Each structure stands twice: as C-alpha cells, then as structure tokens.
Amino acid sequence: MKDDWRLHDREYEFACIVWEQEPIGSGDLAKVCEERLGWKRTTTYTVLKKLCDRGILRNEHAVVSAIVKKEMVQRVESRRLVEKVFDNSISHLVASFAKERSLSEQEIAELRALIDSYEEKGR
C-alpha cells in the first residue's frame, strides 16, 4: 500500500467522479466538476494533472480513467485512520462507531460474517 495514494478531501471527491464515470472525456469531466464541485475548468485540469503525475489517474488522448481503484485508496485511508486515531485497533474503531449510533441488524450480520470469514481463513 502506498502512502502517496492518500487523497485530500477535494481530491477524493474529484477521484470519485472519475471512478463513477470512467472512462470520461476530460471536457466532460470539467463540466461535471463545475456542476458538482463548483470548479472552473482550470482547477479541474490542475487537479487532474496532479493526480496523473502521482500515478493515481491517467489522461490519454483526453480520456480520463483511474490507475488506482477506489478500493485501494479506501484501504490506505482506513489503515491510516485505524493507526492514527484508534491505536491500531479495529475493535476500538467499531466500538467508537457503535457508541455513536446503533448498528442495524444488517450491519451486525455483515460484521459477523466478516469475522467468521477471517476465522475460517485462520484455521
């Protein structure tokens, strides 16, 4: 996992647009960013170039697509969050969320299934 895949909030919002709509023409991307993010065309192209230079996105023949997928960025960000805020403890993370709001039956079932799958892999 690469730490240079870390995206600032607005970069993440921008990348989400690409992930949702890829492949997308750079002109169309600029229009969507103007509508959804309130960005001027120049801002879109500046951020696009930055993320291309970092190897996260690619812009070939004015068609933008992702090199690094959303799930990969989410893994890096979630690892950093658990390490930084929750003393590298996933159980502390889950407990913190559970104290803030009730978990739905579906969320509880998903967590149980996830734990069960990890237990089975460990055997």
**CATH number of 64's domain:** 1.10.10.10
pLDDT at 46: 97
**Dist. CA 55–CA 5, nearest whole Å:** 8
Q: Are residues 65 and 13 in the same domain?
A: yes
pLDDT at 61: 97
65 domain residue, yes or no: yes
82 domain residue, yes or no: no
pLDDT at 102: 87
110 domain residue, yes or no: yes
User: What confidence tens digit (pLDDT) does each residue in 10-60 have?
Assistant: 999 999 999 999 999 999 999 999 999 999 999 999 999 999 999 999 999
Q: Are residues 52 and 11 in the same domain?
A: yes
Domain total of the chain: 2
Range of the domain at 109: 89-123
User: What confidence tens digit (pLDDT) does each residue in 76-120 have?
Assistant: 888 888 999 999 998 888 888 888 888 899 999 999 998 999 888
Residue 66 pairs with which residues in a beta bridge?
57
Element holding 25 (H helix, E strand): strand 24-25
Q: Are residues 47 and 103 in the same domain?
A: no
pLDDT at 47: 98
pLDDT at 1: 42
Place of tokens 């913190």: 96
Q: Are residues 53 and 96 in the same domain?
A: no
Q: Are residues 53 and 100 in the same domain?
A: no
55 domain residue, yes or no: yes
pLDDT at 2: 53
18 domain residue, yes or no: yes
Percentages helix, strand, coil for the chain (3-state, rounded to 5) are: 70, 10, 20
Q: Are residues 49 and 108 in the same domain?
A: no
3-state SS, one letter per residue, for 46-76: HHHHHHHHCCCEEEECCEEEECCCHHHHHHH
pLDDT at 22: 97
CA distances from 3 to 13, 75, 108 (A): 18, 11, 31
pLDDT at 4: 66
Q: Are residues 8 and 61 in the same domain?
A: yes
